[in-house]
Structure 1
Amino acid sequence: MSINITTRFRVTVAPAIALIVFSLVSGCSSDNAPATAAVPKVGVVTLKAQSQVLQTELAGRTQAFMVAQVRPQVGGLVLRRLFIEGSEVKAGQVLYELDPAPYRAALAQSEASLAKSRASFKAAQVTANRTAELAEFEAVSRQDNDDAQASVQTAAADVKLAEAALEIARINLTYTRIVAPISGRIETSAVTPGALVVANQEAVLTTIQQLDPLYVDVTQSTTELLRLQRELAAGTLRSAAAGEADMALRLEDGSLYNQTGRLKFSGASVNESTGTVTLRAEIANPERQLLPGMYVRGVLEQARDDQAILVPQQAVTRSASGNTSVLLVVDGKIEQRQITVGRVVDHQWWVTSGLAAGERVVVEGGQKVRPGAVVSVVDDADLPQVSMTKEG
C-alpha cells in the first residue's frame, strides 16, 4: 500500500516541480538578454526646385492726386448749393451761388465812373488843344498851357483807374458763382443756403479730391533704397520707365489691387529721426476703389529664380553664432549641414546655398536624433502639406 502512495506522489509532484524550475530559468534568461533598440522615425520633405519671385513690400498710404479746398473769394449770402455731396464734379462746374445784387450795383457804379472819367478826359483834351493854339500867339501864359496839358494826362489816368475798377467789379460779380477749380470727388458741404460767408475765410466750404490717378506714399530705409536703386540701374528690378519701377498694390484685406503702379525714386528726402525716406508711386484708380488715407503695401518684383529651393521654417535651426543648418536623411542616416538662407516666403526660408533639389530635409522628429543616427523615414506624402505659396 505504501508503494502505491509513493508512486502516485512521484507521478503527481514531479511535473509540477519541473514546470516551476523551467519558469524560473526562463525568467532569469529573459532578464539577462539585451533589449532590442527601436529605430526612431523622422518626417522629411523632399526638396523641389521651383520658380520663385523675389519681392519687397513697402508699407504706405494712399494720397489724393490733387486736393482743392473751396473758399469764397467775395463775401455774401449763400443762395444755392448746386452739387450733390460725394459726387464727381468737373472743373468749372458751379458749386455755390452767392447773392449777386450788391456786386451788380457795384458794377453799375463802376461803369458810370468810367463814363464820367472818359467825359472829363475829352473835355480836358479840348481845353488843352485850345490853350495850345492861344499859346502860339502868346494869348495865354506858358503856365496856363502847361496846366492844361497836365490836366489831359490826369484825365487819361483817371480813365485807366475807372477801367480797372470796372474790371474788378466784373470779377467780383463772377466770384458770386463759386466754381470747382479741379475735377474730382467733392466732399460734404460745410455751409447751407442762407449762410453768410466772407472773402478768403479760413473755414473751407468743401473739398475736392482727384482720385484717378492716385498717389501712394511708401516708406523705406535708406539702405534698402540704395539697394533698390542699384537693382533698378542693373536691370534686375522690373522698370516701367527711366527712374521708375513697376509696383503692385496689396490692400488691407490682403488682396492684390488690379492695377499696376509706377514707383518714382526722384525727389526723395530722408527723415533724420527715423532714417527712412518717403517714396511716391502713381497708380490708376478708374473704379475709385482706392480712397485717400488707406493703408496699403507696395509690392516690388526684384528678381526671379526658376530654380529656387524653399525649406519649411521648422526644419532650420540657428546656432548662437548665427549659423543656420538643417538635418538631412542620407542613405538612412542623419546628416547635419550648414546652409545660407535669404528671406522668408510664406513660412519658408528661401535657401541661397547649401541644398539641392531631391534632398530630404527633416521637418519632424529632429529633436530626438543626432548626426549619424540610423532613422526610419516618414515621407512628405504622409505629412501635413507645407504651403508653397509665394510671398506677395
Structure 2
Amino acid sequence: MNHIYKQASSFNSVKLFNEWIILLVLAVVLFLASCTGKAEPMAAAPPPLLPVATVTTGQQETFVDYPATIQGTTDVEIRPQIAGTIDRIYVNEGQLVSKGQLLLQISELPFKAQLNNAKAALQAAQAAVLNAQLEIDKLSPLVQSKVVSDFQLKTAKTTYQIALANVEQAKANVNTAQINLGYTQIKAPNSGYIGRLPKKQGSLVSPSDPEPLTQLSDVSQVYAYFSLSETDFINFNAKYEGNSVADRISHLPAVELVLANQSLYPVKGKIDMINGQFDKTTGAITLRAVFTNAKGSLRSGNTGKIRLGLAHDHTILVPQSATVEMQDKIFVFAVGKDNKVSKVAIAIDGKNGTDYLIKDGLKSGDQIVLSGLDKLQDGQMIQPDRKGDKVAQLISKK
C-alpha cells in the first residue's frame, strides 16, 4: 500500500514539473518576440484638398436699397370754400376723374338769395347815381345865374361821387355772391383718383373743418422720396461727374423701385431732385425719383425701396463664403507659393449679391481658398484644387 502511494505521488510531481516547463517556455518565447518586434509608425495625414481661385480686377456694380415713400405728382386736399349742406355727391371713392369734373354739390339756395340781394343793391346804387346826376343838372344853371350858391352844386357833385362808389361796391358784392354761388359746385382741380369721402349727402361742411371733403391724387406719374446719409451723399457725389447739382442729376443712371412684396417695379425711374439742405434732425438729405405709372398700379402712400446702382472700376469681387469674420474683421486665406495658407484681413467696399467688393487687402493675381475655411489654420499646408479658378473667372465677368 505504501508502495502504491509513493508511485502516485511521484507521478503528480512529474506532471506539475512538466506544466511549469511549458509555461516557462511560453514566457521566454513571448519575451523574445517582444524584444525582436518593431512597432509600425503611423502614416502622416496628407494636406487637405481645397478649392483655390485666382482673383482678378474688373468693373463691378453694387446696388444699395433706400427706404422710399411714394406720392402722386399732385396730391390735393379738396375742401369747401363756403359753409353749407352737401346736396349731392357725384363720384365714388377710388374713382378716376378728369380735371373740371363735378365732384360734389353744396346747396345753392342761400347763395342764390345772396346774389339776388346783391343785384338789387346794385340797381339801387345805380338809381342813386342817376338821382345825383339829376341834382347836378338842376343846380348847374342856377349856379350860373347865381340863383343858388356854388356850395350846393359842390355838395351835389360829392353826392354823385358817393353814388358812383356805392355802385362799384354793389358790383363787388354781386361778384362775391356769384363766386360763392360757384363754390357750391366742387370740381376736380386736376385729373386723378378720388380718396375717401367721409362726408355724406346732407352733411354740413365748412372751410374751417379739420378734415377735407376728400383727396385727389394724380398718379399718372409718381414721386419716390428717399434719403441719403451725409456719408452716402459724399460718396454719391464722388461717383458721378458734374459741375453743378443739375449737371450731376443729368448724368445719374436710372434707378429701380423695389415694391413692398420685394418685386421690382417694371419701369425704371429717374432722379430729378436733390434737396437743398440736410435735415437737422436726421442728418440726411432727401432725393426724389420720378416713375411713370401708366397702369395706375402705384398710389400715393405706397412704400418701397429705391435701388441705387454704383459703378466700381478695377475692383476685386470675392464670394462671401470664401471669407471668415473674426472680431469685427473679415479675413480670407491666401495661398502662398509653397501652398501654405495665410490669414489676410480685407477691407470691404460694398456688396454685389452674395459677393464682397474688396477695397484693400488683396490684389489681382492673389490666390484664395474658396471653402473649408472652418478647419484651416494660419500657416497650414494644403493641396490646391485649381478648378476653383473657373469660379474666379465667372466672378470677374459679372
> TM-score w.r.t. structure 1 length?
0.81
Alignment of 1:64-75 (within 5 A): 64-75=72-83
The residue aligned with 2:53 is 46
Distance of 1:140 and 1:217 partners within structure 2: 80
**Distance in 2 between residues matched to 1:100 and 1:135, nearest whole Å:** 52
Which is worse superposed, 162-171 or 200-209?
200-209
Q: How does 1:87-166 map to 2 (within 5 A)?
A: 87-166=95-174
- Partner residue in 1 for 2:11: none
| Within-5 A mapping of 1:192-211 | 192-211=200-219
Give, in angstroms, the shift of residue 101 of structure 1.
1.8
Please say if residues 221 and 275 of structure 1, whose CA atoms lie closer than 8 Å, have aligned partners that are also in contact.
Answer: yes
198-207 or 149-158, larger mean C-alpha shift: 198-207
Letter paired with 2:371: E
Say whether the 8 Å CA contact 1:248–1:300 is kept in structure 2.
Answer: yes
- Is the CA contact 1:329–1:361 (under 8 Å) kept in the aligned structure 2? no
Corresponding position: 1:254 with 2:262:
yes
AA aligned opposite 2:311: A
Secondary structure of the structure 2 residue equivalent to 1:283: strand
- TM-aligned CA deviation for residue 319 of structure 1: 6.2
Q: 1:234 to 1:328 in 2, by over 3 A?
A: farther
Runs of 5+ unmatched residues, structure 2: 1-17
Distance 2:343 2:211 in 1: 70
Cα pair 1:73 1:200 within 8 Å, conserved: no
Partner of 2:4: none
Which of the two has higher C-alpha Rg? 2
Contact 2:55/2:367, CA 8 A, preserved across alignment: no
User: 1:272 corresponds to which residue?
Assistant: 280
Which of 346, 349, 357 is the equivalent residue of 1:342? 349
* Residue of structure 1 equivalent to 2:6: none
Q: Deviations over 1:191-211 (max 9, x none)?
A: 121222234433211111222
- TM-superposed deviation, 1:23: 11
Kindly indicate whether residue 18 of structure 2 is the aligned counterpart of residue 35 of structure 1.
Answer: no
Identity rate, percent: 25
Decide whether aligned partners of structure 1 residues 223 and 22 sit closer, same or farther in structure 2, where only a CA change above 3 A counts: same
Please give the alpha-carbon distance, in whole angstroms, between the structure 2 residues aligned to 1:86 and 1:59.
26
Residues 75-121 of structure 1 show CA distances to partners (whole Å, capped at 9, x for unaligned) of 22212111121011122111011222222222222222212211221
1:298 maps to 2:302: no
Q: Distance in 2 between matches of 1:174 and 1:363?
A: 76
Deviation at 1:232, TM superposition (A): 2.4
- Which residue identity does 2:38 align to in structure 1? S
Q: What is the alpha-carbon root mean square deviation over aligned residues? A: 3.7
Contact residue 47 and residue 309 of structure 1 kept, 8 A: no
Structure 1's 120 and 187: CA in aligned 2 closer, same or farther, altered over 3 A? same
Does the CA contact (< 8 Å) of 2:317 and 2:396 recur in 1? no
Paired residue for 1:5? none
SS in 2 for 1:216: strand
TM-score normalised to structure 2 length: 0.79
Structure 1 residue ranges (4+ consecutive) displaced by more than 6 angstroms after TM superposition = 387-391
Partners in 2 of 1:345 and 1:319 — Cα distance? Answer: 21
Per-residue deviation at 1:261? 2.2
Aligned position for 1:6 = none
The alignment partner of 1:173 has SS state of helix
Alignment partners' CA distance in 2, 1:152 and 1:338: 97
Shift of 1:337: 4.4
Distance 1:343 1:243, change over 3 A: closer
Higher alpha-carbon deviation: 89-98 or 270-279: 270-279
1:364 to 348, 361, 371: 371
Distance in structure 1 (CA, Å) of the matches to 2:200 and 2:236: 51
Per the alignment, residue 229 of structure 1 pairs with 237
Q: Which amino acid aligns with 1:147?
A: T
TM-superposed deviation, 1:320: 5.6
Give 1:56's aligned residue: 64
- Name structure 1 gaps, 5 residues minimum: 1-8
Structure 1 pair 157–390 and aligned structure 2 pair: CA distance change class (3 A): farther
Query: Residues 329 and 39 of structure 1: is their aligned pair in 2 closer, same or farther, counting only changes over 3 Å?
Result: farther
Residue 233 of structure 1, CA deviation: 2.7
CA–CA distance in structure 1, aligned partners of residues 281 and 98 of structure 2: 41
Mapped to 2, the partners of 1:181 and 1:280 lie a distance apart of: 24
- Conserved in 2, the CA contact under 8 Å of 1:107 and 1:169? yes
Report the AA paired with residue 87 of structure 1.
Q
Farther-moved stretch of structure 1 (265-274 vs 171-180): 265-274
Note if 1:310 corresponds to 2:317: yes
CA distance in 1, matches of 2:153, 2:397: 95
Question: Distance in 2 between the 1:24 and 1:364 partners?
Answer: 49
Aligned-partner Cα distance in 2 for 1:389–1:118: 90
